[in-house]
């Protein structure tokens, strides 16, 4: 299956929601660099495509619909980008994307649920 590539770091979050709602497990894994690190809900770290696939297989089995949040402005520095989104539940995500040799972007670090300070 051919999927569009992220031409901008911000594309990754949009692709995530689109692919998660389509239950496209391989499409979700394809958003990450082969050696990427994904923080798990239990504090464990999923490193690499196989571990990330396992995390998202469980997530897709448990959830049927995903809603896009409100993205913060992307911070760019060379081939690295920091993205962040406030989800509808008030939690915040933080991701580091890296520009690839072909000009596309992939996540290399993903912290999907940061609990904001009370009152923020």
Stated as kind and residue range, the H or E segment containing 85 is: strand 80-86
Looking at residue 120, its pLDDT comes to 47
Domain boundaries, the chain: 11-114
Q: What is the pTM of this model?
A: 0.91
Predicted confidence band of residue 118 (pLDDT cuts 50, 70, 90): low
Tens digits of residue pLDDT in 47-92: 999 999 999 999 999 987 999 999 999 999 999 999 999 999 888 9
Question: Are the C-beta atoms of residues 71 and 83 closer than 8 Å to each other?
Answer: yes
Rounded CA-CA distance 92/82 in Å is 13
Predicted confidence (pLDDT) at residue 20 exceeds the cutoff of 90? yes
Asked if residues 36 and 109 have their Cβ atoms less than 8 Å apart, the reply is yes
Residue 89 burial by CB count (10 A; 0-12/13-18/19+): exposed, middle or buried? exposed
CATH number of 11-114: 3.10.450.50
């Amino acid at each position: 299956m051919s999927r569009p590539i992220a031409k901008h770091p911000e594309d990754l979050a949009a692709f995530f929601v689109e692919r998660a709602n389509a239950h496209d497990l391989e499409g979700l894994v394809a958003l990450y660099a082969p050696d990427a690190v994904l923080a798990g809900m239990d504090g464990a770290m999923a490193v690499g495509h196989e571990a990330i696939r396992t995390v998202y297989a469980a997530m897709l089995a448990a959830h049927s619909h995903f809603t896009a949040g409100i993205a913060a402005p992307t911070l760019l520095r060379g081939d690295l980008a920091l993205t962040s989104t406030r989800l509808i539940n008030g939690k915040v995500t933080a991701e580091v994307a890296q520009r690839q040799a072909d000009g596309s972007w992939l996540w290399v670090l993903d912290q999907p649920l940061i609990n904001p300070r009370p009152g923020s």
